[in-house]
Amino acid sequence: MGGKAAMLLVLGFSLIFLVFGNNFNSLTSRAVKNEASYYNETMAHNIAIAGANMVANAVFMDKAWDDGYFKLPYQGGILNVYITNPSGYNSKVTICHKPGTRAEHTISAPPSIKDTLLNNGDYLGDCRGTSMDPNLVLIYAEGIFPDPDKCPPFITPDTSVVYVKLQPSSFAKYGNFYDRMHAIPATGDTFDGYFHVNNTMKTWGHPVFLDKVTSKGGLVMYNTKNPEFQKGYTSGIDVKRPWDTTNFRKLGLNGGAVIRDTTKSGKRVDVEMEFKSDGTVKYRYRIFDGSPTWTPYKIQPLSDLTSNGVIYIERGNLYVKGTVRGQATIVVTKNNKSGCGRIFQTDDLKYNTDPTKDPSSNDMLGLVAEGNIRLVYNDDTKHHDIITQASLFSKNGSVGPDNRLVSNDGYLASWKILGGIIAHDVRVTAHYNSVGPYEGYKFVHKFDRRFLTRVPPHFPHAKNYEVVSWYE
């Protein structure tokens, strides 16, 4: 009897312990499963991020790189990165990857892995309703963790996707860009748009920078040492300005306009150009071939003169004014010929539709000179407020008024610029006393914010790409 009772007691307690133990084990295993699930997700995500960074870096180092990675073992998982690069080395096939899922995306893949992808449900061509932007580099990075070939069958690997869009970094996105600065931003100066110096950044007192500021060298502050960087300052950023006239010439010859010495003896060419608010351009030119005479004026629609927007003036100078209706980038080169490569603004140069009043305005102008860009001293400019609406790019010179306009016969006027100034050096626009400018031109600059997403046609861009969109 006593033995039976003891047995029942032992069995009863064992049953209770088993029930409790099972419950605790269940709680523990669910907690571990939860943790493992989050860990797998995080690892897959980190692998995808690493892949996107690796490829973005490869494209940054070599803008035509487009190898990608396929089934690359990484951190216990697998990494696939598909890259679409318009200037890439390799031939690729366009595939709709993972159709019908949230990760659905159009990718470019090497032909060697086409069958593998198609066997997994992908199909050839763009995904429905989408098309790839031919101007962008697209990176599709896929992290899979754990490695499906190595994990037990009861574990389903997690997949995480990152896709990144990169575009050539246009100089039009800068409000101010200088290779060096002989004049120092000082108290009373306000700078709109991105500001970059490929040198030491110097400030005097309390200048205000409304947008992000970057420089190659460090920051040196004078006087009260109180610059106001409203969107931050970062040093150590080197942005080179390549100068490739071959491409401009090619664009000019293929859909654009080319004005140069037609005798092909490399003579200087001066061009006068007036934009009209009806969308036409009135222009003439003269070739310095010993007896330079102006050709008769020619008037034609801007879109007829250049269908791709590029007007290329080789070994010449440009005198420009007017009201721009449409889009154009005028490139003026020096090509080692002295007295060439300059742009002179002779009167107001503005858009037909003012983008500050109507941001949907499609009027855009880029002025690109190998030398200086100058405001000319004449009856239309002296003693008058002047408007310049364009992004101004001077490769080796500066952007500013003529010497006589810096004094302006003792008058103080305003130079209202809407756009950007990208130049080798800074040029003064006025003479100052202890109060501020008293003669010349007050510099009233506003950045054209359309240039953050749209730029004048074929405006110069940096050698490298920049990330414009990152999905993770």
Partner 1 sequence: MGFSTLIDILGSTLIGGMLLLILLRLNDAGVQNNYTYGGELIVQQNLVDLVTLIEHDFRKIGYCADWKKLPDPTKYILEADSNSITFLTDVDSDGEVDTVHYYTGHTSELDNTPNPRDKLLYRVVNNSLPRGSNLGVTQFELVYYDDSGTKLLTPVTNPTKIMTMEINIKVEDVYGYDTSNPNKDDSEMYATAFWKQIRLVARNLNNR
Instruction: Name the site residues for partner 1 (rule: CB under 8 A).
Output: 9, 13, 16, 20, 23-24, 27-28, 30-31, 34-35, 37-38, 41, 165, 169, 173, 211-212, 230-234, 449, 452-454, 466-472
Least distance to partner 1 from the beta carbon of 445, Å?
17
Tokens of 116: 């593998």
Nearer to partner 1, 358 or 385 (CB): 358
Q: Residue 412 in contact with residue 444, Cβ under 8 Å?
A: no
The Cα 71–Cα 436 span in angstroms is 64
Parallel, antiparallel, or unpaired for β 257-259 and 280-287? Answer: unpaired
Nearer to partner 1, 26 or 262 (CB): 26
The Cα 402–Cα 377 span in angstroms is 6
Q: Residue 7 carries which DSSP code?
A: H
Least distance to partner 1 from the beta carbon of 349, Å?
24
Q: Torsions phi, psi of 15, nearest 5?
A: -60, -45
Nearer to partner 1, 232 or 255 (CB): 232
Parallel, antiparallel, or unpaired for β 213-215 and 233-235? Answer: parallel
Q: Residue 272 in contact with residue 293, Cβ under 8 Å?
A: no
Least distance to partner 1 from the beta carbon of 467, Å?
5
Nearer to partner 1, 31 or 64 (CB): 31
Least distance to partner 1 from the beta carbon of 309, Å?
19
Nearer to partner 1, 229 or 319 (CB): 229
Cα dist from 226 to 208, 215, 223, 275, 436, whole Å: 9, 17, 8, 43, 18
Q: Where are the alpha helices (DSSP H) in 408-449?
A: none
Cα dist from 308 to 135, 155, 257, whole Å: 15, 55, 9
Residue in this structure with the two tokens 């003896």, named with its chain if needed: 265
Least distance to partner 1 from the beta carbon of 302, Å?
24
Question: SS3 for 54?
Answer: helix
Q: Residue 398 in contact with residue 425, Cβ under 8 Å?
A: yes
Give the residues across from 72 on adjacent strands: 79
Give burial (CB, 10 Å; 0-12/13-18/19+) of 353: middle
Least distance to partner 1 from the beta carbon of 20, Å?
5
Nearer to partner 1, 24 or 89 (CB): 24
Nearer to partner 1, 74 or 229 (CB): 229
Kindly provide the residue ranges of all beta strands, DSSP E only, lying in 181-222, ordered along the sequence. Answer: 190-191, 194-197, 201-204, 208-209, 213-215, 219-222
Nearer to partner 1, 38 or 89 (CB): 38
Nearer to partner 1, 330 or 364 (CB): 364
In this structure, which amino acid lies at residue 332? V
Torsion angle, alpha carbons of 62, 166, 354, 392, to 10? -20
Least distance to partner 1 from the beta carbon of 138, Å?
12
Identify the CA nearest to 171 among candidates 377, 391, 410.
391
Least distance to partner 1 from the beta carbon of 100, Å?
15
Least distance to partner 1 from the beta carbon of 185, Å?
19
Least distance to partner 1 from the beta carbon of 95, Å?
19
Nearer to partner 1, 132 or 412 (CB): 132
Tokens of 458: 């074929």
